[in-house]
Amino acid sequence: MENKDNKTAKSGGLYEKINMTVKTADIIITVLILALVVTVIIALNM
Amino acid sequence: MGENKSLNGGLWSRFAEFKRLSGKDKRRMVSDLIFNNAMFIIIAVAIVFIAVRVPEFLSLSSIVNIVSLTAARLPIALGVGGAIVLSGTDISAGRVVGLTACIAASLLQVTNYPKKMFPDLPTMPLIVVLLAVLAVGAVIGLINGFFVAKFKLHPFIVTLSTQLIVFGSVLMYLMIGNNNGQTLSGLDPSYTDFVRGTLFRIGGVAVPRYVLYSAILTVIMWFVWNKTTFGKNMFAVGSNEEAANVSGVNVFRTIVLVFVLAGVMYAITGFIEGGRIASCSANTGLNYEGDAIAACVIGGVSFVGGTGKIGGIVTGVFLLQLIFVGLNFLSVSANMLYIIKGLIILTACAIDMRKYLARK
């Protein structure tokens, strides 16, 4: 029965094993966006 | 009129609902709205920034160019989208585009071209070549799908293998006959006209025919995804393979068909790309899969599986091309473009992951 429940639980695909809070994800996204902005600024000044 | 009223009513009720929330819930709702749509916000800001610095960016000819580029890259993204809905991916896409473009170009060279790959072969009818490249794409998709579905291998590793096999095959193919590894050019005008001939003109700017072909493919794929049993099975398998299996969905057949369909879409992209650039080499299709995956993720096709819309993919491809063309207008170096593309993909995936975490 337990196995069946595990099998039919909604899959998380690539993110299935992520153990993280939404707040941490927000920080990561903010850092990535800042990196993107900085890269574009560098590219514009090259 | 009634629709407007209900739309306004919907917005008002949402606003009233928002006003009733506590301060903490309001902050969370606003942060959800900003972070979940961060990619669209960044792109909107980028478009405004580029348009202010280079006003020609939003000229008619530039917009037609962006739409044409979107049309050229749309079929590959529609194919990759199916693999992502299955919570997988397909990194062989670009190489399949390259192989099919080279096959189409080699079979459609003009008869009097001095470096014709097959000198004794007359120029073949377009439909025969199209069917041949579709068959090649379908067979590669079948191999991908078979190994993913039968051996439960991750699509990444299966498509990595086929990517290498296909690239090797392109290099070998280009060595056949008189070609000796050279770029394939001297294409028959019937082929190039079929692909990039003028469909119609807007304000004197020609819109190429492949825009129409892409639009037709989009409609077909929308129908397949939303109105057929296969489409519903695809979402069911992507959402939860075991549950789909228990519900009587033929998981093996669904996965194989998704990859075959993807292979066919790459072949169509290759056929269009061959005629569009009219000069095919082993580098044709290089990194196209990266752009296609990025466009799908930006357009809301989630790596969680079972989520995605055709409209989202079209929007994703369009926005990505808008950014690439815009950066070209700003004379950004091609080397930096790779770094920017990589960061866009990573950010889009992080946003997708956040959506999953918020739902969990």
CA distance B19 to B36: 21
User: Which residues of chain B neighbour A26 with C-beta distances below 8 Å?
Assistant: 31, 35, 354
- For residues B260 and B352, the model is more confident at B260
Residues in Cβ contact with B217 at an 8 Å cutoff, skipping those fewer than 6 apart: B74, B75, B78, B265, B268
Q: Which residues of chain A make contact with B337, given a CB cutoff of 8 A? A: 43
Please, where are the H alpha helices in A1-46? 2-8, 22-44
Using an 8 Å CB-CB cutoff, list chain B residues near A43: 327, 330, 332-333, 336-337, 339-340
Are residues B38 and A33, on separate chains, in Cβ contact within 8 Å? yes
Q: How far apart are CA A23 and CA B357, in angstroms?
A: 10
Give residue A13's pLDDT: 61
Q: What pLDDT, on the 0 to 100 scale, is given for residue A4? A: 43
Q: How many CA within 13 A on the CB side of residue B237?
A: 27
**Closest CA relative to residue B66, chosen from B75, B76, B54, B57:** B57
Q: Which residues of chain A fall below pLDDT 50?
A: 1-8
State the first-to-last Cα distance of chain A, in angstroms, to the nearest integer: 62
User: Looking at residue B141, what is its pLDDT?
Assistant: 97
d(CA B206, CA B208): 6
Q: pLDDT for B241-296, tens place per residue? A: 999 999 999 999 999 999 999 999 999 999 999 999 988 999 999 989 999 998 99
Domain residue extents for chain A: 17-46
Work out the end-to-end distance of chain B between its first and last CA atoms, rounded to an integer number of angstroms: 39
Element (H, E) at B230: helix B229-239
Instruction: Find the CB nearest A36 among B35, B302, B344.
Output: B344
CB B24 within 8 A of CB B17: no
Mean pLDDT value of segment B109-122 = 84
Q: Is the pLDDT of residue B39 over 70?
A: yes
Q: Which residues of A touch B330 (CB under 8 A)?
A: 43-44
| Residue of A11, A40, A44 with shortest CB distance to B87 | A11
What is the per-residue pLDDT for A2?
38
Indicate if the alpha-carbon torsion angle B306, B92, B267, B274 is positive or negative: positive
Residues B345-351, mean pLDDT to the nearest whole number: 87
Best of A2, A5, A10, A15 to substitute, by most chain B Cβ atoms within 10 angstroms, is A15
A 10 A CB-CB count for B216 gives: 10
CA-CA distance, A6 to A27, in Å (whole number)? 31
Half-sphere CA count of B115, side-chain side, radius 13 A: 13
Of B203 and B13, the structure prediction assigns the larger pLDDT to B203
Closest chain B CA to residue A40: B340
pLDDT, tens digit (0-9, with 9 covering 90-100), for B101-112:
999 999 999 888
Q: Which residues of A touch B46 (CB under 8 A)?
A: 40
What is the per-residue pLDDT for B351?
Answer: 87
Does residue B34 or residue B196 have the better pLDDT? B196
Task: Please determine, for residue B8, whether its predicted confidence score (pLDDT) is greater than 70.
Answer: no
Residues 6+ apart with CB under 8 A from A12: A18, B304, B356, B360
Which pLDDT band holds residue B99 (cuts at 50, 70, 90)? very high
Q: Is the pLDDT of residue B225 over 90?
A: yes
Residue B26 has pLDDT above 50, yes or no: yes
Secondary structure (3-state) at B351: helix
Residues facing B138 on adjacent strands = none
| pLDDT value for B276 | 94
Contact across the interface for A29 and B38, Cβ inside 8 Å: yes
HSE at residue B187, side-chain half, CA atoms within 13 A, is 31
- The pLDDT of residue B6: 53
- The mean pLDDT value for B144-154 works out to 94
Chain A interface, mutation test: which of B29, B347, B352, B355, most A Cβ atoms within 10 Å? Answer: B347
Query: Which of B242, B304, B344 faces A15 most closely, judged by CB atoms?
Result: B304
* Bridge partners, B161 (sequence order): none
Domains defined along chain B, listed by start: 69-359 (1.10.3470)
Cβ-based neighbours of A31, under 8 Å, separated by 6 or more = none
Element of type H or E holding B208: strand B205-208
Q: Per-residue confidence at B2, pLDDT binned at 50, 70, 90?
A: very low
Task: Report how far residue A32's alpha carbon sits from residue B351's, in angstroms, rounded to the nearest whole number.
Answer: 10
Q: B68 and B211 in contact (C-beta within 8 Å)?
A: yes
The residue written with tokens 């379908």 in the block is: B138
What is this structure's pTM? 0.86
pLDDT at position B10, please?
67
Name the DSSP class of A11: P
Mean pLDDT estimate for chain B: 90
Q: Coil, strand or helix: which one is B135?
A: helix
Give burial (CB, 10 Å; 0-12/13-18/19+) of A7.
middle
Q: Which of residues 6-45 of A touch B (CB under 8 A)?
A: 7-15, 18, 20-22, 25-26, 28-29, 32-33, 35-36, 39-40, 42-44
| Residue B246 DSSP one-character state | H
Q: Looking at this protein, which amino acid is placed at residue B254?
A: T
Residues of chain A contacting residue B347, judged by C-beta atoms under 8 Å apart = 29, 32-33, 36
Closest CA to B86 of B145, B128, B28, B131: B145
* Mean pLDDT of all residues in B11-31: 77
Mean pLDDT of B31-43: 83
Residue B7 has pLDDT above 70, yes or no: no
B110 burial via Cβ count (<10 Å: 0-12, 13-18, 19+)? middle
